[in-house]
Amino acid sequence: MIEQAIASLDSLKIELPSWGFADTGTRFGKFLQDGSAIDTADKFADAGMVNRLTACCPAVAVHVLWDFSENQDGASVASIATKHGVEIGSINANLFQDQEYKLGSFGNPDGAIRQQAVKHSLDCIQLGKDVGSDLFTLWFADGTNYPGQDSIRDRKRRFQEGLRACHERLEESQVMLVEYKPFEPAFYHTDVADWGMSYLLCKDAGPQAKVLVDTGHHYASQNIEQIVAWLLDEGMLGGFHFNDRRYADDDLTLGSIDPYQVFRIFNEIHCYAEEEEGYPDIAYMVDQSHNLKPKIEAMLQTVMTAQDLWLKAALVDRDALKRHQRSGAIVDAENVLKTAFNTNVDRLLGDWRSKNGVEANPLNAYRASGYGESIATERAQRRKDLGIQSGAAYA
C-alpha cells in the first residue's frame, strides 16, 4: 500500500502560472519585490527553477496578453520555455482587461464586442496548436451590477453561442476548460457563477469542454469535494486551480487555511482512481497571487503542500473505509480519513524525491542555492536601467 501511495505521486504534475512570478497586488495597488519577474523569460527561468527542485512542475500556464507581445510568435515564446527546462501549458484567454469588456465579453449585449471576444478566444486556440498546448482555459468576469441591467437568459444564450464557436475550432487533442466564480467583479449576478452553470455550458458546447474547479471560487463552507465527486462521476472534471482563501477571494497559498479540505478533495480523486483502475486526466494548476510572500518560495510551498496532502490521501485505507461505510460505522469511517491525514509523510516524500533526483526539502534547497539573492540583485539593476520602479529585496 505504501509503495503504491508513493508511486501515485508520479500522477501529480502541477502546472505553474507565469503570472505568479511577477509583481501582483490588489485593486488598491501592487507590492513590489526586487526578485519578481520582469518579463516572460524571467517567468520561465523561475518556473524552471521550481521544476528542477520539485521534479513535478514541467509546464507553465500562460496568459495571452501578459506573456506574448506583438513582436513574438508562439514558437519564439515556446523556445524560451524550452531553454529553461519547461514547456508551455494551458493557454489562458484574457476577456476582462480591455475597455470594451465593461459590459462583458461573451455575454456583452453588443454583438461586435462578442465577436471580438470570440476572435480572441479562437486566436488563443490557434496559439495552443502552434506551441503544442492541449489546454485552453476560460475565466469570465461577465455579469451585471444592477437588476434589470440585462437579460440573464439572453446572456446565457450568448455564452452558449460563443462557447460552441470555440469548441468547433478545437483539435481532437485539445480540451477547453471553463472556470466559474460566484461573484466578483459583478455585484448583482455573475454569468458563470457555479459548477452547475459551467457543467451545462460545457455539455452544450461539446465533449471536449470540461469544468475547471478553482478551489477558492466557492462560498464559505461549501462542500468542494462533493462537487469534485459529482464531476468525476460525470466525466466532466477537467482541471483545478490550486489556492486557498479565508473570506471571499482566492489567492492564498494552497492549504494555508484549510489543508484538510484539500486532503478530502484528493481523497475523492484517489477513490475514483481505485474504482476505475487509473487516474483521471485532470489538469492541476496553481493560481495564486503572491503579493507578500516571496514569489518562488510561495510556489515551492504550494507544490510541496500539494504533494504532502496528495500522498496522505493516497494512504487512506479504502478497504476499511468501505467496510465501515457499508456497516454504518460513522466514527470508524471518519477516523480512517483522520488517521491518514495525521500521518507524517516527510520520509516517504523524501524517498520519492530522492528517486527523482531532487533534494528531500525543495524549499531548503532553494534557499541554499543563492538563486533568490542573485535574481533580486540582477533584476533590481535591470529595473533601474529600464526606469522601472523596484521594491524591497527578498531572499
What CATH code is carried by the domain that includes residue 212? 3.20.20.150
Mean pLDDT of 104-120: 98
In a domain, 394, yes or no: no
- Whole-number average pLDDT of the chain: 95
Cell 527546462 sits on residue: 85
Give, for 37, the enclosing helix (H) or strand (E): none
Mean pLDDT of 58-80: 87
Residue range(s) defining the domain that contains residue 171: 2-386
Dihedral sign from CA coordinates of 62, 81, 366, 374: negative
In a domain, 395, yes or no: no
Question: What is the length of the chain?
Answer: 395
Instruction: Give which of 272, 268, 300 is closest to 286, Cα–Cα.
Output: 300
pLDDT of residue 71: 64
Share of the chain above pLDDT 70, in %: 98
Per-residue pLDDT tens over the stretch 160-173: 999 999 999 999 99
Instruction: Give which of 341, 338, 342, 310 is closest to 324, Cα–Cα.
Output: 338
User: What single DSSP character describes residue 14?
Assistant: E
Write out the three cell numbers for 156.
446565457
In a domain, 391, yes or no: no
CA distance 59 to 41: 14
Per-residue pLDDT tens over the stretch 308-322: 999 999 999 999 999
In a domain, 101, yes or no: yes
Which are the contacts of 82, defined by CB distance < 8 A and separation ≥ 6? none
In a domain, 22, yes or no: yes
Burial letters 91-125, b for 16+ CB under 10 A, else e = bbbbbbeeeebebbbbbbeeeebbebbbebbbebb
pLDDT of residue 70: 65
CA distance 220 to 237: 21
pLDDT of residue 34: 94
CA distance 163 to 121: 9
Give, for 231, the enclosing helix (H) or strand (E): helix 224-234
Neighbours of 388 (CB within 10 A): 13
Neighbours of 60 (CB within 10 A): 28
Instruction: Give which of 356, 372, 252 is closest to 302, Cα–Cα.
Output: 252
Lowest-pLDDT range of 56-60, 266-270, 385-389:
385-389
In a domain, 351, yes or no: yes
In a domain, 137, yes or no: yes
CA distance 55 to 287: 19
Number of separate domains in the chain: 1
In a domain, 308, yes or no: yes
Lowest-pLDDT range of 25-39, 86-100, 276-290:
25-39
pTM listed for this prediction = 0.95
Q: How confident is the model at residue 392 (pLDDT cuts 50, 70, 90)?
A: very low
Max CA distance (Å), the chain: 70
Give, for 240, the enclosing helix (H) or strand (E): strand 237-242
Cis amide linkage into residue 109, ω under 30° from 0: no
Residue 395 has pLDDT above 60, yes or no: no
Give, for 81, the enclosing helix (H) or strand (E): helix 74-83
